[in-house]
Amino acid sequence: MLTDAARSWAEEVLGARVAHVAALSGGVASRMLLLTTVRGEEAVLRQLVEDPWRRHAEALLSRERDVQALLAGTGVPAPRTLALDATGERTGDPGLLMTRLPGAVDLRAAGPSRLTALAALLLAVHRVEPAPGSRPREYQSWAGEAKWHVPPWAEDPALYVEAFERLRSPAPSYAPVFLHRDFHPANVLWSGDRVSGLVDWVETSTGPADLDVAHCASHLAGLHGVQAARTFRRLYVDQGGVLAHDPDAAAYWQLLDLVAMLPDPLGREGGGTPETVERLWRDAGRPDLDVRTARSRREGLLRAVLGA
């Protein structure tokens, strides 16, 4: 799980012997390890081990390091980088060693207080104002034409055809903000009912607030249903967030994200196989949820966005 080279590197950085290593439930792209030293200090090692992320690891991990430094002092509860091995030269796999934040992922609750806290957290991210020259790159679409195929499990294929047609239009104009770009419940840590951390900053970008809101809404729809997705969007606005006023523009960003969640040419959804995704849900407290149910719920959001 932790190679000798990676252990040696981590111990050099931490200044103490690593006494215990535990796998953390994380994303499909990374190996996430909790390292505990003989002094009881903890750190998290993220290693990018799967393509295509491994091929782009140097850029992704360097971006995460830079963003974590940028967020220091902003009030956004992000980890802090301890060391970076962006190419894997020292450890064998590209990796980032960072501080461990308190709390854990919890996908079970979606009541008003939980959704309000999620919306407030995202709004705090969008209000970050990087110094001149530190603004992240412009967002990248994850809904390229390679995904414009009606999935075989579609309950209403016509919805997907209409979504693809809508995405042929140019992207609407927008007021750029600081984006997490992969904001969703599985990247938020909770201590009780309080947010204690927001992780996974490798895709941070500049773009429309709608895109982060849409991404979280897509995940909420799959986890809890369409109403949770719509409530989250409303709560974001209620707390002062600014989203597209034009209904067609608002629909475009949500469609862009829903299409991004369709299978890629290798059959992966959200970057992983259905089995991988379901395992992550189980680890985060949702053994009741399966991919078939989540797909159906997201199709329900697609139907609502298209007004079908």
Residue with tokens 């991404």: 215
Q: What is the pLDDT of residue 29?
A: 75
pLDDT number for residue 272: 65
Q: Which fold has domain 112-306?
A: Aminoglycoside 3'-phosphotransferase; Chain: A, domain 2 (3.90.1200)
| Amino acid 275: pLDDT | 74
Fold matches, 4-99 and 112-306: no
The pLDDT value recorded for residue 3 is 94
- pLDDT score for 109: 85
The predicted structure's pLDDT at residue 26:
63
Which pLDDT belongs to residue 179? 99
Q: Which residues of the chain have pLDDT under 50?
A: none
pTM above 0.75, yes or no: yes
Domain segments of the chain as ranges = 4-99, 112-306
Which CATH class name applies to 4-99?
alpha beta
State residue 270's pLDDT score. 61
